[in-house]
Structures are given as structure tokens and as C-alpha cells.
Chain A
């Protein structure tokens, strides 16, 4: 079943060549139907069991092992949803071929997020670049292929590093079928190997995410891709790197992952601030959204490398949330561009008067992007910031707040530049969104609200990082609401604090009565990373001291 989810779109995309070129509407609705079917199947089968076929026995074991579970489940749902919505509003030249590329992309990315084998993961990682490259070449608005080359060179260099790291991991571990395995069952890897393998993975993931200074392919690519494809690429493909950090490196290579955390924090913060500032000054509306993606994804990098369960839950929520609103934004901007033949903020204005529905759609999406409470952006941001702060990274959390404020500025600038203000005379004002186009945007908006109100199930998927961590855990955690989830996470932290406090007390010198001498907290150390975090729970400390005295 899961194999079919991967193979069917790819085969359908390849076979679309056999359909006559004039059957544009057929191709489009066929694509929409296929993506919808994928969505429905995935939605109905949250506990589908893993499927596996032997691929290689030597030099290391590799399997065609796929599973629908954990974080990948939500991303596949997001992928199918955004593909269906984007295809429904597709209106490009040579539509049949374009739909074919979209379907191949759908299959390849589904494969990436259901792969439970590292080699299979690497296969789909490289495969998903090809339809985007072909689209950049054949549908480039400028008839130049510079963007396509930049996209391919950056991402493929990353992909090859991933390949080398995968091969090395396979040789060292003896198998690459590890993404669903219990981490405690894996053989430990020597630090030297772990370092180099991590370097290969991290390089690939950082390019894909992207983070500064590896991001230069991204704004160009987003600006040149046709709207339906950029909606899917920004919604899902850009999450592949973050997904990789969460399910691959943090599980398989925890040592170097923790070692890299300071550097990653710096990179994440730079992306966060730089992206927000750059978004503030772009004239091209698509590039505003592209740079805002850079900023938002930097926030997720921060969350992943704070190693805090709340932040990780938030990261997953934000991955899905960003996918929803960026897909919606790119679809709406595509609609604007098709009506007005431009997307430059300086040339547009006052569209809202004639196109109230379009303006309404853009407003909801912009509000979700800038983190209005009740919509999905807020849910992710608050979880991430809480988690990062809880993990003891106070200053990063404070710095991360600034771009969130800037986000309001640039999103309102887009809204104002396109929809409000006086009408611009020299651009054509065509008719408002058709019911069909509204229908295509509606699922995304509904999902944005649903996720904003109840992020619990999505956040909980980060707990069961792998599908092997039994369906039972999923059932229990998914039934909790978001607030209950956060409460639970706080309680977990408290329980950890008790253990840490006992360990901390054991390390202290004792007085004559055998009681540990607890130093009074120095103002300089409060809130810093050096301070033992258990000191932040005075009641826990008191209980622990009492327990030691007995």
C-alpha cells in the first residue's frame, strides 16, 4: 500500500506522455484526483504497518523499507494536500507536461518521508531534485537556465555528500535499515567516523533547509518556479533537511549532533534575522515569502538543536504550519501574477477593491504567517520559544522574538502593497477568484485553523520519533490536546529536575550533619547555561534536600 503511494504518482507522471498534448484539462484533474486519493489513503491509515523488501545484502544490508508514522505521516499529509490544491489552480503552458513533473515530485517526496532505510532516503533525496530542475528549465519565465543550474548544483552537491555519508554509515553499521530501528539496538560508532558521517549529512541538510550562507539558490528558485510547483517545493521540499536532522542525525548520531549545536544555533539565528531583514526590502512579492521562509526555517533549526521536547514538538508543528501557509501564499501570489502579469509590490496596489475574495485569502494567510494566535503559525512559534527558553537558551529565545515582530512588518507590507491603497491604473484588473479557486484554497485555510487550535497530535508525533515506537504510544498521545501535551512536557521536565537535583546534591560537599551544602545562587549565574537547571525549581530542590537528610 505504501509502495503504491510512491510508485503510482511516478508511473502516472511518466505515462502522461502518452496522453495527447491537447488533453490539458484531463491531465490537470487527473493529477488533482491522484493527489487527493493519496491524501485520503494516508489520512485513513495512520497506523499502516511497515513494508519492507530486501534490496542489498552486501556490502551492507539495505531494504526498500517504508512506513507511515511519526513526523513523516503529517508531512506526507501536507504534501498530498498542497499538491492537490496547487494542481487545482494550475494554468500554465504545456499543462500536461507540467502535471507530469508535479506527479513525479509528489511520488519522490512521498518516498522521502516514508523511507525507513537510509539508502532509500538518499535515493529519494536525489530523485526529488530532478522534476524541479526540469521545471526550472522548461518553464523558466526568463528563458535563462542560470537559476536551474544554481538549484541543481547546490542541491546535488548536498545530495552527493549525503550519499557518501550514507555509504560510510552503511559500512560502519552494517545496515542502513535503521530509521525505524530502536536506537539502543544499533552498534555504537566511533567518534571519528561519527564526526565525518555527521558532516556529510549536516552539509546536505543545511543546503536543503537552507541556512545562511548556503541559501543563495533559494530566493531565485522560488521566484522562477511556476506558482503551483513553488507552493509544493516551499511547503514540503524545504522541510527535507529539517526532517533529516530530526529523524536521521539526532537519532543515529547524537554525539556530533550535540557537539554541533552551538554552531547550528549561530547559523539558525543568522538565518532567522537575515531572512526577516531581507524580506523587509524585497519588491518581488514571491521573494518576500522566500526570504520569510529562510527566517522561519531558521527558527526550526534553533528548535531542533535546543534538544528540548517542547521545542521539538513545536518544530514539527511549525514544519507543518509553515508548509500550509507558504503553500497558500504562493498559490495566492500565483493568482495575483496571473491576473496582473506582475508581482512587484511597487507596480501593484488596490487590488482588494475589485478582488475582495483574493484579498481575504491573502489576509488569512498573512496573519497565519506573522503568528496570529489561533492560527497555526502561532502554535508552532510559542511551543518553540517556550522550549528553547526552557532548555536554558534565554538569549537565543529573546533574539528569536525579534524576527517574529519583523514578520508582522513584512507581511503587512505585502498585504498593503497588493491589496490596499489606491488602485493602480496601468495594470489590468481582472475578475475575482472563481468558486473553484476558492475551493482549492479552502482546505489549506481550514487546516491552518485546525492546526492553530489543536496542535497536539502533530506535536505529539515528535515523541514517537520512529514508527517502530509502537502505535500504542501514538494512540495515547494523539488523543491529548495541545495544552495537555505542554503540561505533560512540563511535568516530564520536573521529573527530570528531581533526578538532576539528586545527582547535583550528591556532588556537593557535606556539612557535619551529613547535609549537602547548597551554595546560594549568585545573581550572575541565574538563567545562564552554567547554572544547574534544577536550581530553577526551588520546591524540587527543597524536596531533594529533605530526602537526602533522611
Chain B
């Protein structure tokens, strides 16, 4: 395996990592602009530079479609799979930036946006990572930036969230790293492709796989490794929560998918992955039950995210090629409906109040009917009701689970969905119920119209993907 390291890396290798590089450089430009521009132009320029950088990165990434390239001796594979996940990270980051106008103090905004972009860079590296080292590098870049971002708000709960996230996430990284070390010990290589070779010690291999998966499940916030999620989501500033809810999950999911689909030896493939499907099943139930009692939208969406990630992992059960495509489809759908809901919350937030309490939704259907209608639409999508991408995404997952012989997962998915309906419709009820004694909040104009753009695009995408479910093909092979 070592000869790879002697080969000098050519321009094609650097071109393969161009999309994450562009995003990382854009972050530097944001900081430089922050130094030079007048104070009142800082916000809009930081957001604009970030969005332009992300779009350029997206365009560069799309050039590689149908031209997979294995860069850096197998550490990073640019190809269909990586491009799809990079695309999801880019779109999610753009929407998060749209929500960031009112976020942080004037003197913090440049740094905050730069951290968000670096975090996205980490997630994009994970999307293409095909070696254990690369996965860890991407994951830490992703997480370190987020620790800082979580603590940005002035509230005490924000500092608590940041600290909690730092400690728990570091523990998970420890698990992950230890698992990687054991896997390296068992196989003698850090390349994911090498895991398929017969291990030196089966026990080392199995324990390594287990710890590796535990670490990733923590990042995916799958139950029972989910306990940190609601607290961190609640404490972090709104755009950061929105960003985390999609981007960290997309990055970790890319690693899990590569590991589950491509890295494991054929013979005990199914046995090693069974715990993963069980964890997915637990998440669907725990996440939805947990969401029932929440009165804060951010906490509710945190629990909802736990369940939704359960659905996505369930789609990969049986590791069929179609299942992977549907997992990606559902991830995309989840991104739009989830970020749409977050954008609505952003439109309701004002100074000192993020608008995420259930009470701030009371009577919204009468104050702002359009916004309330759109929120209802996103909640319908999250609950998997028609006519949305969530509905068709669930159908696809159900079908693939039945097809691969995991009908029990399909049944649990339906049970979880049934529970979740109460959680989501609680918000709908708050918006439309005419209860006595709710204070009538005045209608007010949000700081910026950018979140409206996000809401509108998310709504169109959620509806469009429901009517024309488009799951990317040509995403295999995942490792060399």
C-alpha cells in the first residue's frame, strides 16, 4: 500500500478537491472583506461572498459528473456520490446563509460566516473521503467550526450548548478514532477499500467496525446516541441550528454509506451492519416520541431530525443500490422541508426572541396566512403527507425495505410516522386554533427578505420533488 504515497500528486488530484478548496478560500475572502469594508456593508457582503463561493464550488463540482477520479492515492474519490453529497452540503449552506442576516453582532458576522463555510468545507471533504484519515480530517474540520458557532449567541444556553457539544462530540470522535486505529491494526491500511481484505484478527476488525459506527451514529444523532442533539439545537443560534441539522448529517451519512456499501467484506457484510439497522429503528421511535412533548420548535425539529435520519438509514437496509439512491433522495427532501421550516422560524424571530417557542406560532394563520400556510406545508412534508417530497420519499423507503426483506423496518417506519403526526400537527393547531387568552402578537417586518427567498425555494423544491421524484443514478462505485 505504501507505494501510493511516493507517487507525486498531479494537478488532477488538486482539481478533485477544488470544490471544498473554493469554499475554504471563500471563507478567507469573507474575513478579508470584513476587515476592509465599512461596518454597514459587512453583513450583506459576507453573505454574498459566501453564497457566490458556494455556487462556484457547486459549478466546479458538477464538471466532474461522469468523470470519477481517485485522488491522493485513494484518499479522496471525486465522482457521482461525492458530487451529490457536496451538492447537498452546498445547497444547505446557501439556505443557512440566507437565514443569517440577523445573526450575531456586527463585529462577529464575518468570522461567523467564515466558520460556517469552513464547516461546510469539512462536510464536503467527508463527502468524497475514501480513507479513514480523510473521514476524520473532514469530520474534525466540520465539528471544530461548529463548536465555536454554537457559542455565538449571547444567551447562557448557547454557552451550555457549545460546551455540551464540544465534550460529547469529542468523546464520539474518540470512539471513531479508536475504531479507526483498531481497523488499521486489523487490516494494515487506512484505505476504506482495504477493509474488504481478510483481516489479521477478526475480533479486532469487529470491535473496530463497532466503534467506528458508534462514532458516526453519534454524529448522525441516531438513538441511543442522540441525547446531545435537542440541547445543542436549542442553544445554538437559529442559522447554525439549521446548518447543523443538514450539513453534519450529510457528511456523516456519506461516510456511513461508503462504509456500509463498499468497504465491508462480502461474507459478513450483513451481520456487521445489523446493529446499524436496529439503531435506525430505535431512532424512528425515540425521535418521534421525544418530539411529542416539545414546545420549542428547535427542540422539536431536533427530535424530528433524529427520526428522519432513522428513516434515511433504514432506506439503506439490505444495502441495495436502489436503497442508496432513495436514501440520498430522502436526504435531499429532508433538507428542503427542514430548512424551509427553519426559514419560517427565522422570519418570525426578532431582537431577543428567536420565534422558536410554540407560543409565537399562536394565531399565525390569522396574522400571516401565507407564512402559516407554508409552515403547514413543510410540516406536512416532515410528517410524510402528500403532496410533498416527504410522502413520496417515505413510499420509496417503504418499498425498498419490503423489497430487501426488511419489512419490519417498514412497519416501524409507519408506526414512527403515526406518532410524529401529533408532534407536527401540534404546531399546525397552534397556528389555526382560536383559543381564548392568547396574546395577539402584532405583525412585524423581518430584518431581511432573504429568508423569504429560502422559504419559497424550499417550498417549490418540496412540491416539485414530490411530483417528480428524481433520485440521482450513476453514483456507484463508492470506493476503488
A interface residues (Cβ-Cβ under 8 A, vs B): 14, 17, 55-56, 58-60, 97, 119, 123-124, 126-127, 130, 133-134, 137-138, 140, 143, 145, 148-149, 152-153, 156-157, 160-161, 163-164, 166-168, 170-171
Q: Which of B73-81, B254-262, B345-353, B409-417 contacts A (4 or more CB under 8 A)?
A: B409-417
A17's partner among B373, B395, B402 (CB-CB below 8 A) is: B373
A97 contacts across to B, CB distance below 8 A: 369
A119 contacts across to B, CB distance below 8 A: 395
A59's partner among B400, B414, B417 (CB-CB below 8 A) is: B400
- With both chains docked as a complex, state the minimum distance between the C-beta of A9 and any C-beta of chain B, in angstroms: 14
A133 contacts across to B, CB distance below 8 A: 425, 428
Which chain B residue shows the least CB distance to A167? B398
A143 contacts across to B, CB distance below 8 A: 433-436
Chain B residues touching A, majority SS: helix
Which chain A residue shows the least CB distance to B391? A123
A157's partner among B376, B396, B407, B418 (CB-CB below 8 A) is: B418
Q: Which 3 pairs from chain A and chain B are nearest by CB?
A: A167-B398, A123-B386, A59-B399
Q: Are B429 and A148 in contact (CB under 8 A)?
A: yes
Whether B452 is near chain A, meaning CB under 8 Å from some CB there, is no
Q: Are A160 and B391 in contact (CB under 8 A)?
A: no
A138's partner among B411, B418, B433 (CB-CB below 8 A) is: B433
- With both chains docked as a complex, state the minimum distance between the C-beta of B200 and any C-beta of chain A, in angstroms: 40
Whether B394 is near chain A, meaning CB under 8 Å from some CB there, is yes
Q: For the complex, what is the distance from the CA of A134 to the CA of B403, rounded to whole Å?
A: 36
With known contacts A137-B433, A148-B429, A163–B414 Cβ distance under 8 A: yes
Which chain A residue shows the least CB distance to B435? A143
Q: For the complex, what is the distance from the CA of A469 to the CA of B395, rounded to whole Å?
A: 29
A17 contacts across to B, CB distance below 8 A: 369-370, 373
- With both chains docked as a complex, state the minimum distance between the C-beta of A194 and any C-beta of chain B, in angstroms: 14
- With both chains docked as a complex, state the minimum distance between the C-beta of B9 and any C-beta of chain A, in angstroms: 39
User: B432-455, CB under 8 A of A: which get 1 and which 0?
Assistant: 111110000000000000000000
B469 contacts across to A, CB distance below 8 A: 55-56
Identify 9 residue pairs between A and B in the complex whose beta-carbon atoms are under 8 Å apart, listed by A's number. A59-B403, A134-B428, A137-B432, A145-B433, A152-B421, A153-B422, A157-B418, A161-B414, A164-B414
With known contacts A138-B434, A164-B411, A170–B429 Cβ distance under 8 A: no
A153's partner among B394, B399, B421, B433 (CB-CB below 8 A) is: B421
B434 contacts across to A, CB distance below 8 A: 138, 140, 143
B402's partner among A145, A148, A156, A171 (CB-CB below 8 A) is: A171
B391 contacts across to A, CB distance below 8 A: 123, 126
B387's partner among A127, A137, A145, A171 (CB-CB below 8 A) is: A127
Total B residues in contact with A, Cβ cutoff 8 Å: 38
Q: Are A167 and B395 in contact (CB under 8 A)?
A: yes
A14 contacts across to B, CB distance below 8 A: 373
Q: Are A126 and B386 in contact (CB under 8 A)?
A: yes
Q: For the complex, what is the distance from the CA of A161 to the CA of B386, rounded to whole Å?
A: 15
B436 contacts across to A, CB distance below 8 A: 143
Q: Are B410 and A164 in contact (CB under 8 A)?
A: yes
B207 contacts across to A, CB distance below 8 A: none
Of B391, B395, B402, B421, chain A has the most CB atoms within 10 Å of the CB of B395
B392 contacts across to A, CB distance below 8 A: 56
- With both chains docked as a complex, state the minimum distance between the C-beta of B443 and any C-beta of chain A, in angstroms: 14
Which chain B residue shows the least CB distance to A157? B418
Whether B380 is near chain A, meaning CB under 8 Å from some CB there, is yes
With known contacts A127-B387, A143-B436, A152–B414 Cβ distance under 8 A: no
Whether B25 is near chain A, meaning CB under 8 Å from some CB there, is no
B56 contacts across to A, CB distance below 8 A: none
Q: Are A171 and B395 in contact (CB under 8 A)?
A: no
B70 contacts across to A, CB distance below 8 A: none
A124 contacts across to B, CB distance below 8 A: 386
Q: For the complex, what is the distance from the CA of A245 to the CA of B57, rounded to whole Å?
A: 54
Q: A17-B369, A168-B398, A171-B403 are in contact. List 16 more A-B contacts (CB 8 A).
A: A17-B373, A56-B469, A58-B322, A59-B322, A60-B399, A123-B386, A127-B385, A137-B428, A137-B429, A138-B432, A148-B429, A152-B425, A157-B418, A161-B414, A164-B410, A168-B402
Whether B365 is near chain A, meaning CB under 8 Å from some CB there, is yes
- With both chains docked as a complex, state the minimum distance between the C-beta of A118 and any C-beta of chain B, in angstroms: 11
- With both chains docked as a complex, state the minimum distance between the C-beta of B474 and any C-beta of chain A, in angstroms: 14
- With both chains docked as a complex, state the minimum distance between the C-beta of A193 and any C-beta of chain B, in angstroms: 9
Q: Are A59 and B396 in contact (CB under 8 A)?
A: yes
A164 contacts across to B, CB distance below 8 A: 398, 410-411, 414
B interface residues (Cβ-Cβ under 8 A, vs A): 322, 365, 369-370, 373, 376, 380, 385-387, 391-392, 394-396, 398-400, 402-403, 407, 410-411, 414, 417-418, 421-422, 425, 428-429, 432-436, 467, 469
Q: For the complex, what is the distance from the CA of A293 to the CA of B365, rounded to whole Å?
A: 33
A153 contacts across to B, CB distance below 8 A: 421-422
With known contacts A14-B373, A59-B400, A166–B395 Cβ distance under 8 A: yes
B395 contacts across to A, CB distance below 8 A: 119, 163, 166-167
- With both chains docked as a complex, state the minimum distance between the C-beta of A139 and any C-beta of chain B, in angstroms: 8
Of A17, A124, A157, A163, chain B has the most CB atoms within 10 Å of the CB of A163
Which chain B residue shows the least CB distance to A60? B399
B414's partner among A55, A58, A137, A160 (CB-CB below 8 A) is: A160
Q: For the complex, what is the distance from the CA of A249 to the CA of B220, rounded to whole Å?
A: 41
Q: For the complex, what is the distance from the CA of A58 to the CA of B400, rounded to whole Å?
A: 10
- With both chains docked as a complex, state the minimum distance between the C-beta of B161 and any C-beta of chain A, in angstroms: 33
Q: For the complex, what is the distance from the CA of A164 to the CA of B407, rounded to whole Å?
A: 10
With known contacts A152-B425, A163-B395, A126–B322 Cβ distance under 8 A: no
- With both chains docked as a complex, state the minimum distance between the C-beta of B270 and any C-beta of chain A, in angstroms: 20
A140 contacts across to B, CB distance below 8 A: 433-434
- With both chains docked as a complex, state the minimum distance between the C-beta of A439 and any C-beta of chain B, in angstroms: 32
B422 contacts across to A, CB distance below 8 A: 149, 153
A156 contacts across to B, CB distance below 8 A: 418, 421
- With both chains docked as a complex, state the minimum distance between the C-beta of A187 and any C-beta of chain B, in angstroms: 15
Q: For the complex, what is the distance from the CA of A65 to the CA of B325, rounded to whole Å?
A: 25
Q: Are B402 and A167 in contact (CB under 8 A)?
A: yes
Q: For the complex, what is the distance from the CA of A55 to the CA of B470, rounded to whole Å?
A: 10
Q: For the complex, what is the distance from the CA of A435 to the CA of B434, rounded to whole Å?
A: 34
- With both chains docked as a complex, state the minimum distance between the C-beta of B468 and any C-beta of chain A, in angstroms: 8
B414 contacts across to A, CB distance below 8 A: 160-161, 163-164
- With both chains docked as a complex, state the minimum distance between the C-beta of A27 and any C-beta of chain B, in angstroms: 13
Q: For the complex, what is the distance from the CA of A143 to the CA of B429, rounded to whole Å?
A: 11
Q: For the complex, what is the distance from the CA of A161 to the CA of B415, rounded to whole Å?
A: 9
Q: For the complex, what is the distance from the CA of A58 to the CA of B365, rounded to whole Å?
A: 38
A123 contacts across to B, CB distance below 8 A: 386-387, 391
Q: For the complex, what is the distance from the CA of A398 to the CA of B160, rounded to whole Å?
A: 72
Q: Are A138 and B365 in contact (CB under 8 A)?
A: yes
- With both chains docked as a complex, state the minimum distance between the C-beta of A444 and any C-beta of chain B, in angstroms: 30
- With both chains docked as a complex, state the minimum distance between the C-beta of B466 and any C-beta of chain A, in angstroms: 9
Q: For the complex, what is the distance from the CA of A127 to the CA of B385, rounded to whole Å?
A: 7
A163 contacts across to B, CB distance below 8 A: 394-395, 398, 414
B407 contacts across to A, CB distance below 8 A: 168
Which chain A residue shows the least CB distance to B421? A156
Q: Are A134 and B432 in contact (CB under 8 A)?
A: yes
Of B365, B380, B394, B402, chain A has the most CB atoms within 10 Å of the CB of B402
- With both chains docked as a complex, state the minimum distance between the C-beta of B412 and any C-beta of chain A, in angstroms: 11
- With both chains docked as a complex, state the minimum distance between the C-beta of A326 and any C-beta of chain B, in angstroms: 27
Q: For the complex, what is the distance from the CA of A167 to the CA of B403, rounded to whole Å?
A: 10
Q: For the complex, what is the distance from the CA of A60 to the CA of B421, rounded to whole Å?
A: 27
A166 contacts across to B, CB distance below 8 A: 395
Q: For the complex, what is the distance from the CA of A164 to the CA of B398, rounded to whole Å?
A: 7
A145 contacts across to B, CB distance below 8 A: 429, 433
Q: For the complex, what is the distance from the CA of A56 to the CA of B393, rounded to whole Å?
A: 11
Q: Are A126 and B418 in contact (CB under 8 A)?
A: no
Which chain B residue shows the least CB distance to A96? B369
- With both chains docked as a complex, state the minimum distance between the C-beta of B4 and any C-beta of chain A, in angstroms: 37
Q: For the complex, what is the distance from the CA of A56 to the CA of B394, rounded to whole Å?
A: 13
- With both chains docked as a complex, state the minimum distance between the C-beta of B421 and any C-beta of chain A, in angstroms: 5
Which chain B residue shows the least CB distance to A196? B407
- With both chains docked as a complex, state the minimum distance between the C-beta of A175 and any C-beta of chain B, in angstroms: 12
Q: For the complex, what is the distance from the CA of A167 to the CA of B396, rounded to whole Å?
A: 8
Q: For the complex, what is the distance from the CA of A59 to the CA of B421, rounded to whole Å?
A: 26
B417 contacts across to A, CB distance below 8 A: 160
